[in-house]
Structures are given as C-alpha cells and as structure tokens.
Amino acid sequence: MLVVIKKDYEEVSREAARIVAGAVRSNSQIVLGLATGSTPLGLYKELIALHRAGDLDFSQATSFNLDEYLGLPAFHPQSFHFFMKQNFFSHVNFPSGNVHIPDGTISRNYDEYCAQYEQSIKAHGGIDLQILGIGRNGHVGFNEPTSSLASRTRLKALSRETVEDNRHSFSNDSEVPKCAITMGIGTILDSRRVLLLASGRSKAAAVAKAIEGPITSSVSASALQMHADVTFIIDEDAAYSLTQRDYYRHVLEMTQIFTPERLS
Ligand code: GLP
C-alpha cells in the first residue's frame, strides 16, 4: 500500500490525473473502473484538460462504473449516468459503446443483471485501474458497512447515513434512492490496480480506519489492505487522523528514489 499525502484537493486531483494519464498512455486499451461523487471531479477536469491539449486519447479505452442508484433513469440529474456524461464522457473521446454503467432502471432479475455486469468485466479482461472515493462510513462504491469482503456486483440497500448524505441533492424526499446496484468488494479487489482519493476533514476518520484499522466489514475500504497494488492519494485534511504520517512520507521518498515507476 502506498499512501501519498498532498497539500490540498487540487494537488490530489493533479497527482491522480498524472497516474491515470500515464496508465492510459502505456495501455491504450485500458479498462478503467470509474467512480462518481464530488471527490473525482478534479481528476476528471484534469483528464479533460489533458485530452483537449491533445495529450490523452481514450479512443480505445473501456470503462466500468462502480455503481448506480436504483430507480433513477440515465437522464435524471442525480443519476450516475448523468454525472459521468456531464463531468467526463461528453468532454473526451471515449467511445460510448465502451462505457458501462449499471442500469438503475431495471426492476427485476437483479441477480441475473448483476452477474452479467460481472461477466462483462471479465470478458473485457478485468479492470486495469480502479478509481475510488470513500464514504464517511468507509464505504467504497455502495458497499455499506457489513458488506461481505468477498461480495460481487449486486443490489444493495443504502445505509441511513448515506441516504442522509444524499438527501440535499434531491428536491423531493420521496425521490432519495434507498438502494443501488454496486460492484462488490470482491469485484474491486480483482482490479489490477486501485487508486483511492480522499479530501477533507470529514473523511479523516474513514481514511484512518481504512489504512490503519483492522480489516473489517464494518469499514469496507479496509479490505483494500489485502490488495497488492493500492495507492491512497489524500490531502492533509483527510490524512489528519493517520498515526503513521511520517512513515508514509518516508516510504514515498524511498519509492521515488528506488522504484519511481511505481508512481507513474
Ligand atoms: C457515494 C459513491 C461513492 C463515493 C462516495 C463519496 O456514496 N457511491 O463512490 O466515493 O459517495 O462521495 P464524495 O466524493 O462526494 O464525498
């Protein structure tokens, strides 16, 4: 595990973009696992800027998004389909046929649909680079506390905390989604490389539990400790509750000297 502590959100976004852009350049047919939420917005902005500058080509890339709210059609402004189009896909040359986002409008055969999503990831050779944010309760994707660490893509009930966090985005209380389709923790752990981004003091407790706490289904992100190639890129505020900050800085320095390719 590599923990990269940056000054602020802008630096987190730039560092994440540097790594993602490097990965896309070295493998034009890359399969990206993409995330929504406010955290990766800066990363998407940076990637769009690189694309516009002619420095980044997504024409052969494929993507799988982590999750989608159940009940929201793609045109709903709070759907993750809408988010991805608005904040990324409509600004880059990602072929629409290569974009996969769980369909929030299905109303039956959920298990079958989710198994197909898993199958499709497999058929594309698996996810090369998975981007993650983290919820205040330590969830990744919508793997709420107590999700099985071996879980696969499935329908998941959202926790009270997540529903509360989302409430402000919906004008009508009855519209606030109570369920989502999400990749499982097992699905995420199968990715070849994982980048988790976090910013702000509100994420500090979750980040500390994920990195330094015991591996527990109560904090889904702690399962990443079992992944052989995970990088946390976090700002000073999100790093606030970590006890080993000096050690992470030392490791990063050594990594830069001895294995710089790990960071590119
Ligand atoms: C949602 C998403 C997660 C995201 C989390 C944090 O629950 N399903 O993928 O990481 O929110 O969002 P934000 O980055 O806005 O804090």
Domains of the chain, by residue range, sit at 2-263
* Domain covering 2-263, topology: Rossmann fold (3.40.50)
**Radius of gyration of the chain from Cα atoms?**
17
User: From CA 234, how far away is CA 13, in angstroms rounded?
Assistant: 9
User: From CA 203, how far away is CA 212, in angstroms rounded?
Assistant: 14
User: From CA 202, how far away is CA 136, in angstroms rounded?
Assistant: 7
Per-residue model confidence (pLDDT) at position 263: 79
Residue 51 CA to ligand 1 center (angstroms) comes to 25
Per-residue model confidence (pLDDT) at position 166: 86
Ligand 1 site, CB within 6 A: 35-39, 66-67, 133-135, 141-142, 162
For ligand 1, pick from 154, 155, 165, 194 the residue to mutate: most ligand atoms within 8 Å of CB. 165
Per-residue model confidence (pLDDT) at position 172: 84
User: From CA 107, how far away is CA 125, in angstroms rounded?
Assistant: 28
pTM of the model: 0.97
Residue 258 CA to ligand 1 center (angstroms) comes to 34
CA distances from 167 to 161, 172, 175 (A): 10, 9, 9
- Atom 13 of ligand 1, nearest CA residue: 37
User: From CA 101, how far away is CA 58, in angstroms rounded?
Assistant: 17
Nearest residue to 195 via CA among 93, 47, 55: 47
- Atom 1 of ligand 1, nearest CA residue: 37
Per-residue model confidence (pLDDT) at position 175: 87
Count of CB atoms situated within 10 Å of the CB of 174 = 5
Q: Taking a C-beta distance cutoff of 8 angstroms, is the pair 231, 197 a contact?
A: no
Q: What angle do CA 43, 68, 221 make, to 5 degrees?
A: 65
Residue 22 CA to ligand 1 center (angstroms) comes to 24
Residue 39 CA to ligand 1 center (angstroms) comes to 7
Q: Which residues does 122 contact at the CB level (< 8 Å), separation at least 6?
A: none
Q: Residue 198: which H helix or E strand, with range?
A: strand 193-198
232 forms beta bridges with 3, 196
Tokens representing 59 are: 């024409």
- Chain centroid to Cα 20, Å, comes to 12
For ligand 1, pick from 34, 36, 79, 169 the residue to mutate: most ligand atoms within 8 Å of CB. 36
Nearest residue to 35 via CA among 202, 172, 233: 233
Ligand 1 nearest-atom number relative to CA 37? 15
Q: Taking a C-beta distance cutoff of 8 angstroms, is the pair 32, 131 a contact?
A: yes
- Regions of the chain where pLDDT drops below 70: none
User: From CA 232, how far away is CA 226, in angstroms rounded?
Assistant: 14
Per-residue model confidence (pLDDT) at position 171: 86
| Tokens 């602020």 belong to residue | 8
